[in-house]
Structure 1
């Protein structure tokens, strides 16, 4: 199943956030997001380590002149729809405006209905690899003619 996202062009694109402090809500998910927890408390602040997401947010921060702090969601979850239309995890924190941005959250049809996504900034193709099989010996050509 493929999902198509439509993001209409915006004419309201700030070029300078004047050092505004954004609240990122993230779960560690290497190599996309790597972070060190500041404490064992739920929702603790995270210290970014070098990762794809760290490089993206640092480039954005520098280019658009903003600062940020990173914390994990209060319940440590990514975001699933619960009974009654409520959510948990990162999605809940974004809905309640307890966080402003998340850099690494898979698009699902359910999440797409309740939070705003940008276009994807990274595509990932994961495959399973093995060595190429060796050709069969010539004497097998009569038994398996298409495999030699």
Structure 2
């Protein structure tokens, strides 16, 4: 409720929901070939690999529900999930998320406490 023109208005949305419509923003999604959840097939006629699998379809469903586009990428250093180095930085998918080279990481990730220092994890899963 807000005060407007000397009366209390209840139809004004002061705090617009910023997560229900991402307005076509392109999200960088880092993932890798990991059957049976994620498949990447190279095609020399295409610039990017053909991607499919349960996890990929979940991301595609989210693009429709939340109105965003995706740019699927492999981890920039060629690692898969990655590992924590002595200096606290990560390699692989986790490293790309830590360094903000990607917005979303899609892989068969287990909920592990040390991940929470660098990523937020979604609720649910397959």
1:102 to 88, 101, 105: 105
How far apart are 1:96 and its partner, in Å? 1.0
Q: Which has the higher strand share?
A: 2
2:71 paired residue number? 69
1:27 to 17, 25, 32: 32
Q: Using structure 1 for the length normalisation, give the TM-score.
A: 0.64
Q: Partners in 2 of 1:13 and 1:32 — Cα distance?
A: 30
SS in 2 for 1:121: coil
- For residues 54-81 of structure 1, give each alpha carbon's deviation from its aligned partner in whole angstroms, at most 9, with x where no partner exists: 2101111111111101010112221211
The 5-angstrom pairing of residues 1-148 of structure 1 reads: 14-37=19-42, 46-77=48-79, 78-104=81-107, 105-122=109-126
1:12 to 1:103, Cα distance in 2 relative to 1, 3 A:
farther
Aligned length: 107
Q: Give ranges in structure 2 of 5+ residues lacking alignment.
A: 1-15
- Bigger radius of gyration among the two: 1
Q: Give ranges in structure 1 of 5+ residues lacking alignment.
A: 1-10, 40-44, 123-148
How far apart are 1:13 and its partner, in Å? 5.4
How far apart are 1:33 and its partner, in Å? 1.1
Q: Partners in 1 of 2:121 and 2:48 — Cα distance?
A: 23
1:136 paired residue number? none
Root-mean-square deviation (CA, aligned residues, Å) is 2.2
Q: Partners in 1 of 2:48 and 2:113 — Cα distance?
A: 29
Contact 2:37–2:55 (CA under 8 A) maintained in structure 1: yes
Contact 2:39–2:51 (CA under 8 A) maintained in structure 1: yes
Contact 2:97–2:118 (CA under 8 A) maintained in structure 1: no
